[in-house]
Amino acid sequence: MSSRKFFVGGNWKMNGNKAAIDTIIERLNSNKNESVETVCAPPQCYLEYTRSKLDAAVFVSAQNCYKVEKGAFTGDISPAMLKDLGVTHVILGHSERRHVFGETDELIAEKCAHALENGLTVIACIGEKLEEREAGQTEAVNVRQLTAIKKAISDWSKVVIAYEPVWAIGTGKTASPDQAQEVHQQLRAWMAAEVSKEVADSIRIIYGGSVSGGNCKDLAKKPDIDGFLVGGASLKPEFVEIINARN
Ligand code: PEP
């Protein structure tokens, strides 16, 4: 296995209330696993609440943020505000931001650059749609999305790449361990060729798309899968099994 620290993020999306969050936090606080970088991404109105109750060893992530520090951007939040709340990570480019809210590769890249400049760790999501996979465009789509980010940033040390095939998100259809490994290996090779071998060897490439307690162990055995971004299952008790997938 590589020396890359296993990374597991829970994306709660637009779910939960304080009572539900208390239950999730109780489970996380009683599962200490220092070998895993564990991150929770609550809805933005619960960021501070979650941070105040979670064990300090578990990081809190936002699900999105904007590309500038402040100003007339109604409804949005900035990395500076997130840092002020003790938030250390942000998910950017999630497929729901791309495909429900119409965010472009360029906007996502600008957001990544601004979040990194402000010291946040960026969980940068990329992934192909079903029709793109069926048309043999999987690698081209992922490389296009990554290339936009590469043009906007120079330091990859606080980037975690989340490969999340759109057809596997929230559908119950997981990429098989071999399918996921194939793409992760392509992405790492791309990083080696286009950024540097050092970055390719050290960057975490995590998988997302219907990860569950049942499939996490087989996925976690693959050499280029360095963890998971988990949606639905991050709200359930099985999230603890996913955190411990390599134990
Ligand atoms: C996600 O939202 O990033 C995700 C992977 O969702 P799910 O695990 O529900 O497919």
Question: Tokens 């134990």 belong to which residue?
Answer: 247
Residue nearest to atom 2 of ligand 1 (CA): 231
Question: Tokens 């696993």 belong to which residue?
Answer: 33
Residue nearest to atom 1 of ligand 1 (CA): 231
Q: Pick the atom of ligand 1 nearest to 168's CA.
A: 10
Q: Going residue by residue through the chain (247 aa), what tens digit of pLDDT does each one get? A: 578 999 999 999 999 999 999 999 999 999 989 999 999 999 999 999 999 999 999 999 999 999 999 999 999 999 999 999 999 999 999 999 999 999 999 999 999 999 999 999 999 999 999 999 999 999 999 999 999 999 999 999 999 999 999 999 989 888 999 999 999 999 999 999 999 999 999 999 999 999 999 999 999 999 999 999 999 999 999 999 999 999 8
Q: Pick the atom of ligand 1 nearest to 171's CA.
A: 10
CA distance 175 to 173: 7
Question: Tokens 């999501």 belong to which residue?
Answer: 125
Q: Which residue among 92, 126, 164 is best mutated to probe the pocket of ligand 1, counting the most ligand atoms within 8 A of its Cβ?
A: 164
Residue 50 lies in a domain: yes
Residue 1 lies in a domain: no
What's the CA-to-centroid distance between 234 and ligand 1, angstroms?
A: 9
One-letter amino acid of 25: I
Q: Which residues are catalytic?
A: 94, 164
Give the pLDDT score at 2.
78
What's the CA-to-centroid distance between 214 and ligand 1, angstroms?
A: 15
In CATH, what number is assigned to the domain containing residue 58? 3.20.20.70
Give the pLDDT score at 1.
58
What's the CA-to-centroid distance between 246 and ligand 1, angstroms?
A: 20
What's the CA-to-centroid distance between 48 and ligand 1, angstroms?
A: 23
In the chain, the number of structural domains is 1
Give the pLDDT score at 232.
97
Residue nearest to atom 6 of ligand 1 (CA): 231
What's the CA-to-centroid distance between 239 and ligand 1, angstroms?
A: 12
Residue nearest to atom 7 of ligand 1 (CA): 231
Which residues span the domain enclosing 81?
A: 6-243
Give the pLDDT score at 100.
97
Can you give the three-state secondary structure of the chain, one letter per residue? CCCCCEEEEEECCCCCCHHHHHHHHHHHHCCCCCCEEEEEECCHHHHHHHHHHCCCCCEEEECCCCCCCCCCCCCCCCHHHHHHCCCCEEEECCHHHHHCCCCCHHHHHHHHHHHHHCCCEEEEEECCCHHHHHCCCHHHHHHHHHHHHHHHCCCCCCEEEEECCHHHCCCCCCCCHHHHHHHHHHHHHHHHHHCCHHHHHHCEEEEECCCCCCCHHHHHCCCCCCEEEECHHHHCCHHHHHHCCCC
At 137, list the tokens. 């465009």
Q: What residues does ligand 1 touch, defined as CB less than 6 Å away?
A: 11, 164, 169-170, 208-211, 229-233
Residue 53 lies in a domain: yes
